[in-house]
Amino acid sequence: MSLPQVIEAYGVRLRQFRAEDAADVVDGLADPVSQRFVTGPPNPYTENDARWWIEVGAPAAWAGGGAAYAIADPDTDRLLGTVALNNLAPARQQAGVGYWVRPAARGRGVAAAGTRALSDQVLASGTARLELLTHPENTPSQRVALAAGFRYEGLRRSATVDRDGTRHDLLAWARLADDPPGPVPRLLPDLPGGVLTDRVVALRPLAADDAELMYRLHSRPEVVANQAPPVPPTREAVERRCRLAASGWLTGEIARLLITDAASGEPAGSCGLSYTDVAAGEASVGYALLPEWRGRGYATRAVRLLAGWAFGATGIARVTAGTVPDNVASHRVLERVGFHSEGLQRGRLPGLAGARLDDLTFALLPGDLR
């Protein structure tokens, strides 16, 4: 595969590294975010390390059949980051892509532009498949993957080792030569303005620092009793759920949201929407409120907002909700939103000690929404 020495596309320039790039390489790789998610470079990262990369590491990548480009500003030619072609498997016409960006250049689409520019060239040169791996908590990198045309393919369990020897998962993304050009449409788009609100309640994406609140809510006996199986979550499980909430949204698995009082910002509960059948356009909702916020119509308002977003920006055609048969309060919430009871599914859900629980299913179509 023959790649050009310079590529200019999407508002960036990909070029070879030069000696004067050393300080900017240090700036990019000594940064705490880079040190956390780019595990190959030394820690601490020094100017000697940068010079080694420029004089030895990058040329070695090229000599091995890969590529290591500096992403530069086309006006000033100053280094903004790096995009590289690695993990070559010529027999399978496959390769990997990696990148990093200096702190001052983040949030400007630099990594996505550089990755897309390199990917275009590589796929046009005969490679059939490109892979990109991201840390599950590195959501900016996941946004880069989507913007550069890479589709989420799944979780690689315990696929890499951190600097301290701890193993962790990686998310796999891929772009094929015959994939449509441009960014990948998301199953679960961002909320408009980052929030859904009717000026009484507001819904915003769940975040890592919501873990204590979520543990307090979802370990309450009455909340546990209405889930299947009725087993309280561990604090560790709730913390992980909150840390990975943004990633689950980007991969299209589930949108987890915090319900708050619109006026005060006080947290009232949580809700979520997840696909049950992507091809059929069907998703399900769930919700729970803290005791002090119940009986005020907050759950009804939250479900109504979530369903409206699902039918609108998300393009979902049908929303379902499953409840245990004796959860009358939840039934009333769903009915006020416009859900219709569609029947009892006997023994559908796991209970305790091998028991099975019935599931009373409700469904909502766009025309039902009140």
pLDDT tens-digit map of 309-347: 999 999 999 999 999 999 999 999 999 999 999 999 999
User: CA–CA distance from 39 to each of 26, 44, 215 (Å)?
Assistant: 15, 12, 31
Domains in the chain, CATH or no CATH each: 7-176 (3.40.630.30), 192-368 (3.40.630.30)
Q: Which tokens in the block code for residue 364?
A: 């909502």
pLDDT tens-digit map of 155-204: 999 999 888 888 999 999 999 999 998 999 999 999 999 999 999 999 99
Whole-prediction pTM:
0.93
Helix (H), strand (E) at residue 69: strand 67-72
Tens digits of pLDDT across the chain (370 residues): 689 999 999 999 999 999 999 999 999 999 999 999 998 899 999 999 999 999 999 999 999 999 999 999 999 999 999 999 999 999 999 999 999 999 999 999 999 999 999 999 999 999 999 999 999 999 999 999 999 999 999 999 999 988 888 899 999 999 999 999 899 999 999 999 999 999 999 999 999 999 999 999 999 999 999 888 999 999 999 999 999 999 999 999 999 999 999 999 999 999 999 999 999 999 999 999 999 999 999 999 999 999 999 999 999 999 999 999 999 999 999 999 999 999 999 999 899 999 999 999 999 999 999 8
Backbone dihedral angles phi then psi of residue 151, each to the nearest 5 degrees: -100, 140
Backbone dihedral angles phi then psi of residue 14, each to the nearest 5 degrees: -100, 125
Q: Which residue has the tokens 């913390």?
A: 239
pLDDT tens-digit map of 84-104: 999 999 999 999 999 999 999
Distance from C-alpha of 195 to C-alpha of 197, rounded to nearest angstrom? 6
The span from the first CA to the last CA of the chain, in angstroms, equals 58
Give the residues across from 169 on adjacent strands.
none
